[in-house]
Amino acid sequence: MVKGKLRVVEVFDSVQGEGELIGMPHTFVRLAGCNLRCRWCDTKFALESSGVEMGVDEVVSKVNCGYVCVTGGEPLLQDVCGLLAGLSESGRKVTVETNCTVRDKGLDEFVFLYSVSPKLSSSGEGYDEDVLLSYLNLDNVQVKFVVCDDDDFLEVVSIVEKYGAFVRGKVVLQPDGMCSLAEYQRRLGWLCGKVMASKVLVLSDVRVLLQLHKVIWGNKKGV
Ligand code: SF4
């Protein structure tokens, strides 16, 4: 790849479908490549595509919204410093979505929100505990877990117990959305019931959130 260029899969405008900025208009910048292969990955096209090479100015010129979500794949595998600086200097509020295996403190000054998504057992992958702790030391972080089954749920409980005050109010749980709408509704109900029955999660202000884009558009790409 040419130095200073990014491998971009897609740039599109939509409402943010998940997490604490849910419903807010965003421009999404999806970068190519990932170091993991989660079983339930809903963006496999970003892993398999090598993307289109673009310079920072070209990407910034495609941004129409005040909020920008830099996502993947795993965006931090590419040299995103110039992109994040350019977006921040143009007054955009930048969310970086990352899978909790990569950390670069040099990016912090350009990031409005880190959306960190450590992978639980059902994914077939994992995360780096030191990386998670480093993110948890920040205030502008949300930690999103996809919870598919009881084993995943118990893992979340043990993480919340382990990190205590560091994770309070920062954890968002969501079910796997690769299913029909009726099944998704059932999974959301299951997860809400599990959280409300867990004193640890209730006292840590853990939230269950849906993925708005899945309810509206299913698993369609570019929305
Ligand atoms: S980390 Fe994200 S993009 Fe990478 S394989 Fe897992 S779900 Fe897919």
Dihedral angle at the C-alpha atoms of 192, 194, 196, 200, nearest 10 degrees?
Answer: -130
Is the shortest distance between the CB of 41 and ligand 1 below 6 Å?
A: yes
10-50 pLDDT, tens digit each: 999 999 999 999 999 999 999 999 999 999 898 999 988 89
Is residue 118 within 8 Å of 143, Cβ to Cβ? Answer: yes
| Ligand 1 centroid – CA 44 distance (Å) | 7
Q: Tokens standing for 14? A: 């939509």
Is the shortest distance between the CB of 99 and ligand 1 below 6 Å?
A: yes
89-132 pLDDT, tens digit each: 999 999 999 999 999 999 999 999 999 999 999 999 999 999 99
Q: Does the predicted model carry a pTM greater than 0.75?
A: yes
Is the shortest distance between the CB of 38 and ligand 1 below 6 Å?
A: yes
For the chain, domains (ranges, CATH) are 5-217 (3.20.20.70)
| Ligand 1 centroid – CA 199 distance (Å) | 30
